[in-house]
Amino acid sequence: MKFEITQTAKEKLNEIPEGKIIQLSFDRGSCDIVNNIYEMKVVDRRKAESHEKIIHSENLDFIVNDDFEDTYEHELTIDFRNNFFVFKNKNQIFSNRIGLRYV
């Protein structure tokens, strides 16, 4: 998967303390396939469960669902604009108002 993080997003994500990991979980109750991640959760670092995997990018780790890559057509850029994270690829913006929540 082509997984990129822009400089502005890296600056914001690098504020996350050590011992934490970013979890990107789909909202399975959503009927809108392109807007089903509404927040990025910062959780205690843990191993991926059987339905998850860990993606490494730009010295950051993300726990994602197994079908994460398929949902984003194997290409995702995470940007940070106007106090929100933006999920996009070369073809479209998937969501432009994703928050960061510490759990």
Structural tokens at position 64: 């994602």
State residue 48's pLDDT score: 96
State residue 95's pLDDT score: 86
Residue-wise pLDDT tens digits, 51-102: 999 999 989 999 998 888 888 888 999 999 999 999 998 888 888 899 999 9
Please count the structural domains in the chain.
1
Containing structural domain, residue 60: 2-102
Mean pLDDT of 19-28: 85
State residue 31's pLDDT score: 60
CATH number at residue 22: 2.60.300.12
Cα(65)–Cα(72) distance, integer angstroms: 12
Alpha carbon separation from 77 to 22, 46, 73, 99, 103 (Å, rounded): 15, 24, 12, 15, 24
Q: Regarding predicted confidence, which is higher, 35 or 60?
A: 60
Kindly tell me if the per-residue pLDDT of 34 is higher than 60.
no
Cα(46)–Cα(31) distance, integer angstroms: 29
Cα(25)–Cα(38) distance, integer angstroms: 9
